[in-house]
Amino acid sequence: MPWDHRGWHAGGAANNTHIGFEICEPAGFSYKSGSVMVGYDAAKQEDYFRKAWQNTVELCVMLCKKYGLNENDIICHSEGYKLGIASNHADVMHWFPKHGENMDTFRKAVKKALENSTDTNTDIGIGDMVEFKDSVKNYYPGSVEVPTWVKNDYYHRVTQTLYKGKPVIKGGKECVLLGKKVKKSGGQEIAGINTWVAKENLAIVNSIPDNKGNRTYTVQKGDTLWRIAEKELGRGTRYPEIKELNGLTSDTIYPGQVLKLPE
C-alpha cells in the first residue's frame, strides 16, 4: 500500500493523525488471556527484538521526514485507546517491556535518529528552483565566470539533470541544466540561461514573494500541504489556507509546483 494511503491500523481517528505500527513477534510462545505471552524467552529473542526495533525506528524516521511529522506523532494501540482515538489492543506494550523498552524510549530513539540524520532533502532535481551560492564564480570548474546579473537578479529552474540517460559531468563536477529564469523581483518565470551548472554551486530556494506581495513556496519531493504549512506558517493545521489561496480542490501536490502562501 502507498505510504500516503490510510491504513486501518488504529481502528479509530488515530488513522488520520498519527503513525502507528504492528510488529511480528518471533515464534516459540503462546498467548493467554489476550495479550499475555506464555513461554516467551526474552534473552533468546533479544537479537530478533533489536533488529525489529531498529527496523521500526528507521521506518518511523522515514515517515516523519516524508510527511513533516516528529516523534510525538507516533503512538501505539494502547496509547491510542487511552486517548480515545484507537481500539483496545495491548500491542506493543505487551512486548517492549520484556526487553526493557516502552513507547517513550522508542520515541526517544526516533528523535535521536532524526537529529542525526544527514538526509536534508536538498538533492537538486528537475523542477527545483535554485540560486547561485554567494561564493560561486564559475558555472563549473574551468568554465567562464557567472555574470553578476545571473546571480543577483534571478532564481533559476532546473529543467534537465541527465543527457542520454547519464549524469552530466563538467570540470569533474555533476551538473544540472538551468532552463528557466525566475525574476527575484516578482517571481515571473521566463526563458533561462540554458547552461549546465555544478550542483554544488547551487542552493534550493523554497519561497519568494510574488507580484502581489504573497510569498511563494516551491514544492519539494516528499512535501505535503500539512508539512508546508507547519514549516512556512508555523502550524500544520493552516494547510486549508494554502489550498484556498491556490484554488486547490484536493491535497495532491507535486515537486516543482509553486504555491502562494498566506500571511
Binning pLDDT at 50, 70 and 90, where does residue 98 land?
very high
- Per-residue pLDDT at 195: 96
Regarding pTM above 0.75, the answer is: no
Say which residues have a Cβ less than 8 Å from residue 201's Cβ, sequence separation at least 6: 132, 133, 136, 138, 139, 140
Terminal C-alpha separation, the chain: 36
Rounded to the nearest angstrom, the gap between the alpha carbon of residue 225 and the centroid of all alpha carbons in its chain is: 11
Is residue 103 over pLDDT 80? yes
At 116-139, the pLDDT tens digits run 764 443 478 888 889 999 889 999
Q: What is the 3-state secondary structure (H, E, C) of 153-183?
A: CEEEEEEECEECCEEEEECCEEEEEEEEEEE
- Per-residue pLDDT at 247: 85
Nearest to 46 by CA among 26, 72, 28: 26
The whole-angstrom separation of Cα 122 and Cα 145 is 25
Is residue 196 over pLDDT 90? yes
Binning pLDDT at 50, 70 and 90, where does residue 88 land?
confident
- Per-residue pLDDT at 210: 57
Ordered by where they begin, the domains of the chain are 13-116 (no CATH), 129-204 (no CATH), 207-261 (3.10.350.10)
- Per-residue pLDDT at 177: 95
Computed over every residue of the chain, the mean pLDDT equals 86
Mean local confidence (pLDDT), 91-103: 93
Identify the top-confidence range among 100-114, 123-137, 243-257.
Answer: 100-114
Query: What nine digits make up the cell of 48?
Result: 530478533
* Range with the poorest average pLDDT among 125-129, 141-145, 183-187, 222-226: 183-187
Mean local confidence (pLDDT), 163-185: 89
Is residue 204 over pLDDT 70? yes
